Structure 1
């Protein structure tokens, strides 16, 4: 069976993403045009536009399209802005961030996922402004500052270093808390310190090393 991906893409935007209050026209345009299927492992490609998380290897999953849409809308990237993505995964969100902003640096813990994402970006002709680095975000160091930081996995508590990478008035998207009820937030780096804006509830996998410590019951 041949899948009409452009129709599936349109259905995803109109039936999943837009009804979940993603109304930013630039974000909808990116999700309507970028070939999400090219970033999905062949085994699951037929489900590229379904309202589910998709496995991509190493125990990692692509976020649901609705979460990707809300993430992009919350960050409100402008054409001249630079973004740091923590957790490249499939590379699809990096492609979206690259389409909306000026430059993306994306960190991926697993070398194989980093290579697959780079290959998908190159094969689609996307991501010429995306640099993927194989690194653990919890020990990564850089003097560079970014307008936005996008974390694609959950944390129990927000690491201070993530905020240090922001320019003044920059913003950080991250999902925090304890499964099964987590909170997606946008942290604004204001003059008087961080200001946290609550966005929506969700439940996604933890960033490696950022899960809560096990609770021992005696």
Structure 2
């Protein structure tokens, strides 16, 4: 396969039509070799417009969604970014070229090790991958200027919002089937948050995400 031509077509046919127009983000998609971040047995699917299944029920976001989330979080050179659900490390690799440091948390130990190996092989140094449940406890490296969540949530928990620095942004797919929405949460002041729905998109639940409590009378 001509990987460079495939990467160009990925940008022109999948990512740009999804209103990802920030040239900094597009340059990262062109620079980072996505095919090196997918499992070997799925390498030919590296540029297919799907959520790519990984081991143990995990998934790799569709390329257009990775680029869209990164653009909409408005990455800045001085930002410290947290990726909840590091996966194979590809989204971290994209973000690493636009911000100061990217921290990734991955609940699957084998996948966390894969992310570390992939990022090291790509020569990306301003990244840190840890194994753990990002919803269970605050990360020691916080607060963060931006947080990207790679699986859906019934609602954004306080445990994540409270890790935002003032002026920080969090993006996640929030809601219930059949309609979920990518939602941007902004930290206006300490303990004060704003929320904006950006676009509709469905994703499987983030592992260990809590469902909304329903009361029966």
TM-score by length of 2: 0.94
CA contact (8 A) 1:108 1:136 kept: yes
Q: How does 1:95-174 map to 2 (within 5 A)?
A: 95-126=93-124, 128-143=125-140, 144-174=142-172
| Secondary structure, aligned partner of 2:97 | helix
Q: Is the aligned partner of 1:35 residue 2:33?
A: yes
Q: Is the partner of 1:23 in helix, strand or coil?
A: coil
Between the two proteins, the alignment pairs up a number of residues equal to 214
Contact 1:157-1:210 at 8 Å conserved across structures: no
- How far apart, in 1, do the equivalents of 2:137 and 2:215 lie? 30
C-alpha displacement of 1:215: 7.8
Superposition pairs of residues 39-118 of structure 1, within 5 angstroms = 39-118=37-116
Q: SS at the partner of 2:111?
A: helix
Q: CA deviation at 1:179?
A: 2.1
**C-alpha displacement at 1:93, in angstroms?**
0.2
1:195 aligns with 194
Matched, 1:205 2:204: yes
| Partner of residue 5, structure 1 | 3
Give 1:100 deviation, angstroms. Answer: 1.1
CA distance in 1, matches of 2:139, 2:122: 29
Local SS of the residue matching 1:210 = coil
TM-score (ref. length: structure 1): 0.93
**Aligned alpha-carbon RMSD (Å):** 1.8
What is the CA deviation profile of residues 95-138 of structure 1, one whole-angstrom value per residue up to 9, with x for unaligned ones? 11111110011100011000011111111112x01100101112
1:154-197 superposed Cα distances (whole Å, 9 cap, x missing partner): 11111101111111010101111012311001111113821112
Gaps of 5+ in 2: none
Query: CA distance change for structure 1 residues 7 and 136 in 2, over 3 Å: closer, same or farther?
Result: same
